[in-house]
Amino acid sequence: MRPSDPTAPATRADGARRAGAEGRGPVRFGPALPEPGLPVLPEVAAVVAGAAGRPHPEPAGGAPTLLEAARGHWERRGLAPEHGRIVAAPGGAALLLALTAALGGDVLVPRPCPAWWAPQARLLGREVFPVATPAECGGVPDPYALLETVRRVRAEGGDPRLLVLSVADDPTGTVPPPEVLHEAVEAAAGEGLHIVSDETWRDTVHPGHPGTGTVLFSPAEMFPDRVTVVTDLAGGHLPPALPAACARFAPTAHGERLADRALDFLTATGAVLAAPVAAAATYVLHEPEAVTAHRSLAVALHGALAAAAHRAVLAGGGLALPPRAGRHLYVDLDPLRPALTERGVTDAQDLEDFLSERLGMAAPGGHRFGDDPAALRVRLSTGPLLGSTPDECTASLTAREPLRLPHVAMQVNKVTAVLGELSGEGREDQR
């Protein structure tokens, strides 16, 4: 099978090819989490301001009040109340780095995957092996591709120990069906892999989609002894300017040891929450009415915008799975390759440059998410569609029909126009 074949299991030679492709644009460290596009909730800002005068540092791993708030947060989402360890850090990247260091070995990820996963392993000198995802979703590996990748890696002398997956995916904006998630986790557990479940976006599932809006499982409910749950609060709770994340370890002796090693790493690297950020994290994890009401409005808004962007992509001749969560969708523009080639767009970096300029917003190419650099894939985010000023963004949040607002319609129409121009030329070429 060709290296670019999405069903081909990854090998160390593939890793070398990807490393060589990094000269074609800055793909080693990709974009940050998608911007929310909304002003900071006033109640959160007040909590941050109130904690700014605290003279004492936060303890490494988080203060007891924060950890108890995180425990309650997960219990309300169905995780068993056994007292597994919880550790907090300034962002999901810091936690994943600590976990990867603590576990050792090589790392497996679905392809594509969030841009912040792979750099942690690379920084530690670990190999990262992307695994193809099922046709119906992203976020989890196809179980058969996972088993074959593990077999190939071990045959070549590798040591796969960790699988990172997500229950609500960035970059694809999809939610794996429970049976698909179970099969992937079961395959990983059968091979002795530890699973890190990134649940950053689990509270951003769009309303109005039966089967995904009300039923969402965590791998920790399926195989509690083999799963560490990580939630970056920048997903649906805090703005990226207030980086905070929590990890929930298995309530076992192995989970205790893993938590201790991860905490050692966080302490040694100074990855400690600032007091104002810790206060904000504690506040949102308790989920007062102001937080839950704001989150519901924001999720519905981003869902409506993602659906509109998806319609624009399909109308323009592109391909994309329907977005079901988060603030983004993952677009394949290979059907428009002839028109793009005429404009000098031949790979993912070219596509990123072209669309970012034409759309006036960041449009990171698929190569930043571990995808084939030669493929014409890109992630589009909904945050820039909300407006360009705080007043416009607030108006979008409170409007009954945000898609009818002039500033929102203008941004969505820009996506339609750019892709429509390309697809129109493609249809003319086929005549």
Contacts of 403 (CB under 8 A, 6+ apart): 304, 305, 308, 409, 412
Helices first, then strands: H and E counts in the chain: 15, 10
Q: In this predicted structure, what is the pLDDT of residue 194? A: 97
Neighbours of 296 (CB within 10 A): 12
Tokens at 372, concatenated: 């084939």
The bridge status of strand 245-248 relative to strand 128-132 is unpaired
Q: What percentage of the chain has pLDDT greater than the value 90?
A: 77
pTM above 0.95, yes or no: no
pLDDT tens-digit series, residues 133-151: 999 999 999 999 999 999 9
CA distances from 92 to 59, 185, 230, 243, 372 (A): 18, 21, 7, 8, 25
CA distances from 254 to 165, 249, 257, 259, 260 (A): 20, 9, 5, 9, 10
Compute the CA torsion angle 340, 343, 348, 353 (nearest 10 deg): -130
Q: Which contiguous run of DSSP H or E holds residue 130?
A: strand 128-132
Q: Name beta bridge partners: 230.
A: 198, 247
How much is the mean pLDDT over the chain? 88
| Angle, alpha carbons 81-263-200 (nearest 5°) | 55
Say how far apart CA 389 and CA 359 lie, in whole Å.
Answer: 17
pLDDT tens-digit series, residues 255-306: 999 999 999 999 999 999 999 999 999 999 999 999 999 999 999 999 999 9
Q: Taking a C-beta distance cutoff of 8 angstroms, is the pair 397, 298 a contact?
A: yes
pLDDT tens-digit series, residues 20-50: 444 454 455 566 666 677 889 999 999 999 9
* 103 pLDDT higher than 50: yes
Q: Taking a C-beta distance cutoff of 8 angstroms, is the pair 269, 120 a contact?
A: no
Go through the chain and tell me how many residues it has: 431
Max alpha carbon distance in the chain (Å)? Answer: 72
pLDDT tens-digit series, residues 166-223: 999 999 999 999 999 999 999 999 999 999 999 999 999 999 754 444 468 899 988 8
Closest CA to 407 of 419, 395, 420, 421: 395
Say how far apart CA 375 and CA 367 lie, in whole Å.
Answer: 8
Tell whether the torsion through CA atoms of 367, 371, 375 and 380 is positive or negative.
negative
Say how far apart CA 217 and CA 215 lie, in whole Å.
Answer: 7
